Amino acid sequence: MTYEVIDRLVRPANPVPDPRMLESVDVSVLQHERREQMQTQEPIQVDSVEESSRRGWLIGVAAALVVVIGAVVLFQMTGDSEVTSSDPAQGDVPVEQMATIRRLVDAINARDAGAFIDAFTAEGYFNPHGDFRESSSGFGNHQPVSQVSLVEAWMAIIHAWGLEADLLACSILTEADEIDGQRGNWGWPRSGPGASLVRCDVATRWQSLSLELTEGWVYEFRGTQLDNWGFVLLDLNPDERTLPLGYDGLEAWEAWLEANEPLSADRYLNPRVRPSEVQCDGCAEFEASLAPNDPELAARLGRLLWTAEKGWSIDGHEFFPGGLIPYDPAVANEIEASIHEYLEAK
Amino acid sequence: MNEVSSLRQRRFEALYEAHKLEVLAYCTRRLGRIDAADACSETFLVAWRRLDDIPPPPKTLPYLYGIAGRVLSNQFRTLRRRSRLDAKLGALGVPVAPDPAVLVLQCARDQEVVAAVRKLKPKDREIVMLYAWEDLPRETIAEVVGMTRAAVDQRMHRASKRLALILEPGAESTAVSTPPIAQKGGT
């Protein structure tokens, strides 16, 4: 039935059954535009497959604290920047780049998939970074960011957890910052020469989990073009926060739930699975390096590297959550109630 | 440097000449004649920048379709915004241009079919179009849309059922008579 229906109904409705029909279309506009653009556009250097794999590994390793929603783009600034140099978060970041940064934050807070995608153009989909990885944390698939249904599905997840991002401060990362791993950028790899990195400290409030973290959202620019966006975790337990729990608190809730409501724990929690060395070459060493003098802390941080046992599907997209927030968003309301119960009992 | 540039330029020219009509047709099928030229142009601009990544035949054209598909994603969003603007302008009594996609549709039945195809989920729609209009084999479709062959088959099956339901009343009884256990399959 499958092909018979399509062959019989759809195939004959082809608006252009033969491309030669279009030979009469004036392509001089295309020629002219192409030549104009070609004279002004330098070809963009794209990394080799090997480099891509290496970066994929690097990002994978950094996934302990890094979540990547990669998408390489040609971001054409449209002006209309509402950001001024008096913006307290702006720091030394150029106004144009700051406008882009704010656009993405606003799109995420508004769950506006269209605005989110609009920050990225078609250019991005073929860069080695151009994967939009599916997971609760935006990590783990190989779909392009252009898919609005995928972005919407991802936004449904962050909506279930009530994510609210609050820009605190932004600054340009120097090469020295990258080399020595200072300022929490965890050696974020540049995609090539000429790229510049901006890192913004962001308070991320996961309202449904009563959880507040401080993250570093890293934006990779090439001039005014946004190449990449991702984030690192800067502080799992920020001292100054508006929500009751840091990550220590969330772990404590998990322990409380397992001890007091094992049946609920079975439903709500999602066991984290340590990747084998085959899957993640060098992960063990990286895990240990997270806290060289504190193996227990390193092991706790390492859990954020792991994948979760159970995934889920939204609108046909499969999600494979990472270790940071592995819970199924379908039970977000129940988890929220459970955490409130825990907070009252504490 | 000049020699390299010249080689690059010639390679691009050959690519452009070999595939411009197919890419233009791809864009026209999805966007209509008016906007297709822009989309085609943008597709080749991306191709120019990514020239070193473009695979040799027979994968060249599917790769270009992949670029064009993503270019069109952006164009569709622009068109949706324009439609919203048109609606506002219409409410103010300002005349607006007709939907350009309509211009390429020749007969009522085709319009009906295309309307039904448009009701499919975006990825299902693209798979159906690549199969029926670009005439790509399913293995190649899987590469273009970044799925497995099995996933493509599954989506084709789902799309065909949906199309049959919309376009052929007789198909409805077939779907309804499907045993419940079969309807749950795969979920």
**Structure token pair of residue B83:** 């439609």
pLDDT bin (cut points 50, 70, 90) of residue A279 is low
B121-140 residues touching A, CB cutoff 8 A:
121-123, 128-129, 131-133
Q: Is there a domain that residue A8 lies in?
A: no
pLDDT bin (cut points 50, 70, 90) of residue A208 is very high
> Given a cut of 90, is residue A256 above it in pLDDT?
yes
Rounded to a whole number of angstroms, the distance from the CA of A201 to the nearest CA of chain B is 30
> Given a cut of 90, is residue A19 above it in pLDDT?
no
Q: Highest-confidence range of A81-95, A184-198, A261-275, by mean pLDDT?
A: A261-275
Residue in the block written with tokens 């950094």: A62
Which pLDDT does position B115 carry in this prediction? 82
> Given a cut of 60, is residue B60 above it in pLDDT?
yes
User: Which residues on chain A are in Cβ contact (under 8 Å) with B33?
Assistant: 25
pTM: 0.50
**The CATH number of the domain where A86 resides is what?**
3.10.450.50
Buried b (16+ CB within 10 A) or exposed e, B156-166: bbbbbbbbbbb
How many other CB atoms are there within 10 angstroms of residue A170's CB atom?
Answer: 24
Q: Is there a domain that residue A15 lies in?
A: no
Q: Is there a domain that residue A10 lies in?
A: no
Q: Is there a domain that residue A295 lies in?
A: yes
Task: Determine what percent of chain A is predicted with pLDDT higher than 70.
Answer: 61
Which pLDDT does position A281 carry in this prediction? 60
Question: A148 — contact with chain B (CB < 8 Å)?
Answer: yes
Question: A8 — contact with chain B (CB < 8 Å)?
Answer: no
Mutate which of A10, A28, A29 to test chain B, going by most B C-beta atoms within 10 A?
Answer: A10
B30-69 residues touching A, CB cutoff 8 A:
33, 37, 40-42, 44-46, 48-53, 66-67
A126-156 pLDDT, tens digit each: 233 344 544 444 443 344 566 677 778 888 8
A226-244 pLDDT, tens digit each: 666 776 777 888 888 889 9
- pLDDT: which is higher, A29 or A314: A314
A295-324 residues touching B, CB cutoff 8 A:
316
Q: Output the DSSP codes for A202-238.
A: EEEEEGGGTEEEEEEEEEEEETTEEEEEEEEEEESS-
Give the structural domain span for A226. Answer: 49-346
Which pLDDT does position A63 carry in this prediction? 35
> Given a cut of 50, is residue A42 above it in pLDDT?
no
A-B contacts (CB, under 8 Å): 156
How many other CB atoms are there within 10 angstroms of residue A49's CB atom?
Answer: 10
- Topology of domain B105-174 in CATH is Arc Repressor Mutant, subunit A (1.10.10)
Q: Is there a domain that residue A6 lies in?
A: no
**Which residues are CB-neighbours of A216 under 8 A, at least 6 positions away?**
A183, A184, A185, A199, A200, A201, A202, A231, A232, A233, A234
Question: A25 — contact with chain B (CB < 8 Å)?
Answer: yes
Q: Is there a domain that residue A42 lies in?
A: no
- pLDDT: which is higher, B19 or A293: B19
Question: B10 — contact with chain A (CB < 8 Å)?
Answer: no
Question: A41 — contact with chain B (CB < 8 Å)?
Answer: yes
**Domain residue spans of chain B:** 1-101, 105-174
**Cα–chain center distance at A18:** 42
Mean pLDDT score of chain A, rounded to an integer?
70
User: Which residues on chain B are in Cβ contact (under 8 Å) with A117?
Assistant: 73-74, 77
User: Which residues on chain A are in Cβ contact (under 8 Å) with B123?
Assistant: 147, 149, 316
How many other CB atoms are there within 10 angstroms of residue A248's CB atom?
Answer: 11
A84 and A158 in contact (C-beta within 8 Å)? no
The domain total for chain A is 1
Query: Does domain B1-101 correspond to CATH entry 1.10.1740.10?
Result: yes
Q: Is there a domain that residue A4 lies in?
A: no
**Region A77-96: what's the mean pLDDT?**
57
